[in-house]
Structure 1
Amino acid sequence: MYTRYAIYHTPEAGTPLAELGAAWLGWDSAQGSARTHPNVDGVDVAAVTATPRKYGFHGTIKPPFRLAEGCSIDEVRGALATLCADTAPVTLTGLQLAQLGRFLALVPTGDASDLGALAARVVQDLDTFRAPLSETELSKRRTRRLSPAQDAYLVRWGYPYVLDQFRFHMTLSGNLDQATAQQAEAALNQLLAPIALTPYRIAGLTLLGEDAEGMFHHIHHYALTG
């Protein structure tokens, strides 16, 4: 039994990017198992990746949510399958490593408006399955500095960074000091160098569940076939 669910883009299992992401973070959400971190001189990879590890390597499309009262996960699966069957794949110019604030992530290069439209559709069309945030959850989110628009989205959609505030990224670290971020970025650039990231095709969405220990597991992958 999962406590929360999420809809992510995850690289196709077994591909070099999926393998690197799972090993770097130390958690393979597709297999539901821990992975051994790569040995990197001068970088404590386990410490650098402690915060994002539980989610596995992914790009958020619909953030984690609890099921609304009276809804079942089978209903979510059916609705997501229907949406994906009616939605075309998205091809990005590519992905590149970047520092976003204090953390590292892969982010799109070029125009990502089609991906933004896909994420907005998933957030809006499947919102009936999401339980409203509790006051505790709202307060936790509001410890960050949210704009009025982001706060309104938090209340309406359960997450502040959706619709026009959405910025696709595939997280590779927690918040780091500048020196650690530079060392980790250099190591990741070396590890990513042999992997083709241009262009980058998003051909499906993955439904995941969060277990009692807080780790996310793949439930099912849905191809975008519209």
Structure 2
Amino acid sequence: MTRYAVYALPGALGEAAEPEGAALRAAAEAWFARPDLRDRTLGPRRYGFHGTLKAPFRLAEGRTEEELRAAADAFAAGRHEVVLRSPRVARLGHFRALIASGDESDIATLAEDAVRAFEAFRAPLTEADVARRRPERLTPRQRELFERYGYPYVLDEFRFHLTLTDPVPPEAADEVDAALETHFSALTGVDVPLRAIALFVERGPGADFEILSVHPFAENSAPGAHA
């Protein structure tokens, strides 16, 4: 069954409009393409390089893809640029991801607004959805958010990140961390403006997520900006 997601995608508007984001996106895609580490990037490759704003969801009954795209247009038209401050590679549990080094409040607000704005498009979770998340491992607050929004890491539990690896076993940590440091060294510390949101789509279970459409923020709106 088809699923959709609302992502922040560095470089979504192209190199001319978002040079810093385009450079970061190109570096991430080159990282995912490395043959020596492909067994460490299976999940990130499938979901695509992104920062999650609204986690993957199936469309609610009666909702259409066209309505979702129109809602994304309307949402983006009321937004302005936010900045990912000095992104750096960091450990998030056993994963590795790019996170901001500076203030994240604008991105957190963007994510909170997206979670609420697109909630009407999300179909209720199935029993299988709930079981896969293993709610018994969540904190009470995360369980509350999971039941309300279909994802536990939103609102006050949100941390913006761009995932780069699957869980890294301890015996491979030094190798992976050294490779990441070298690979992203030229981009570390460069602020990355985010000037659009992107809808991604997974057309069937296990399929790769692909860009469905790009929705520029207000000051970036221009003919032909959609993917």
TM-score range, shorter chain: 0.7 to 0.9
Aligned residues: 210
Asked if structure 2 preserves the Cα contact closer than 8 Å seen for 1:153 and 1:159, the reply is yes
SS at match of 2:53: strand
What's the Cα RMSD here?
A: 1.6
Q: Deviations over 1:60-86 (max 9, x none)?
A: 111000000000011111111111110
Asked if structure 1 preserves the Cα contact closer than 8 Å seen for 2:31 and 2:183, the reply is no
1:223 aligned to 2:216? yes
Q: Which runs of 5+ in 2 are unaligned?
A: 16-21, 220-227
SS at match of 2:43: coil
Show the counterpart of 1:89.
Answer: 81
1:8 aligned to 2:7? yes
Offset of 1:10 from its aligned partner? 1.4
Identify, as 1 or 2, the structure richer in helix.
2
Query: Residue type matched to 2:98 in 1?
Result: L
CA distance in 2, matches of 1:196, 1:95: 6
Q: 1:107 to 1:46 in 2, by over 3 A?
A: same
Asked if structure 2 preserves the Cα contact closer than 8 Å seen for 1:62 and 1:119, the reply is yes
Query: Residue type matched to 1:7 in 2?
Result: V
Asked if structure 1 preserves the Cα contact closer than 8 Å seen for 2:3 and 2:202, the reply is yes
Asked if structure 2 preserves the Cα contact closer than 8 Å seen for 1:103 and 1:181, the reply is no
Q: What TM-score results when the alignment is normalised by the length of structure 2?
A: 0.87
SS at match of 1:52: helix
Asked if structure 2 preserves the Cα contact closer than 8 Å seen for 1:127 and 1:157, the reply is yes
Which stretches of structure 1, 4 residues or more, deviate above 3 A after TM superposition? none
Offset of 1:188 from its aligned partner? 1.4
CA distance in 2, matches of 1:158, 1:197: 33
| 1:130 counterpart (104, 117, 122) | 122
Offset of 1:154 from its aligned partner? 0.6
Q: Superposition pairs for residues 1-226 of structure 1, below 5 Å? A: 3-12=2-11, 13=14, 15-25=22-32, 37-38=33-34, 44-142=36-134, 145-195=137-187, 197-212=189-204, 213-225=206-218
Percent identity, aligned pairs only, is 38
Q: 1:169 to 1:144 in 2, by over 3 A?
A: farther
Q: What TM-score results when the alignment is normalised by the length of structure 1?
A: 0.87
CA distance in 1, matches of 2:31, 2:144: 35
CA distance in 2, matches of 1:210, 1:149: 29
CA distance in 2, matches of 1:3, 1:45: 29
CA distance in 1, matches of 2:34, 2:136: 32
Offset of 1:143 from its aligned partner? 5.2
Instruction: Identify the range of structure 1 (4-13 vs 154-163) with the bigger mean alpha-carbon deviation.
Output: 4-13
Identify, as 1 or 2, the structure richer in strand.
1
